[in-house]
Structures are given as C-alpha cells and as structure tokens.
C-alpha cells in the first residue's frame, strides 16, 4: 500500500489565498463594526472593471478611441 499523498503546491497556494481573503473580510467587518469604515451595501467586485478612466455619461468618447473608430 502506498502512503498518504502529498499536498500539491497549487492546493497549498489556493488554501493560503482563501485564508487571506477570509482574514481581510474579518478585518473589514471588525472595522465597520467599530465605525471606521462606511457600510457598503454593494457586492465586492473582485476582477471586474471599475469604470475609472472611461468616457463620461455625456456620450463623449476619448480622443484615442474616436481616432481608431474613424480609421476603421
């Protein structure tokens, strides 16, 4: 019979990331409870585009985008 399988580095890294994420979440929760952070009702947006640097709502496009659209 073979012994126990060793845990792969990938699994260890995943577990470490999950633990860090949980710790950050607990710290944020404690800070909100202490009144240090404003209460945020929206979901977290990990990996999503924040919209910073995009054109304003007025419908104007940045000059670089307009130039590439005209060239096509």
pLDDT at 67 over 90: no
C-alpha 5/C-alpha 63 separation (Å) is: 57
- Contact status, residue 55 vs residue 62, Cβ threshold 8 Å: yes
Please give the pLDDT value at position 35: 85
pTM of the model: 0.44
Question: What burial letters (b/e) apply to 12-37, b meaning 16+ CB within 10 Å?
Answer: eeeeeeeeeeeeeeeeeeeeeeeeee
Q: pLDDT of 24-66, one tens digit each?
A: 999 999 999 988 767 666 655 555 555 555 555 555 555 666 5
């Amino acid at each position: 019979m073979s012994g126990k399988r060793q845990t792969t580095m990938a699994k260890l890294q995943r577990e470490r990331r999950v633990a860090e994420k949980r710790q950050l979440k607990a710290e944020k929760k404690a800070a909100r409870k202490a009144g240090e952070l404003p209460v945020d009702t929206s979901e977290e947006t990990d990996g999503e585009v924040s919209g910073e640097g995009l054109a304003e709502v007025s419908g104007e496009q940045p000059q670089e985008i307009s130039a590439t659209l005209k060239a096509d």
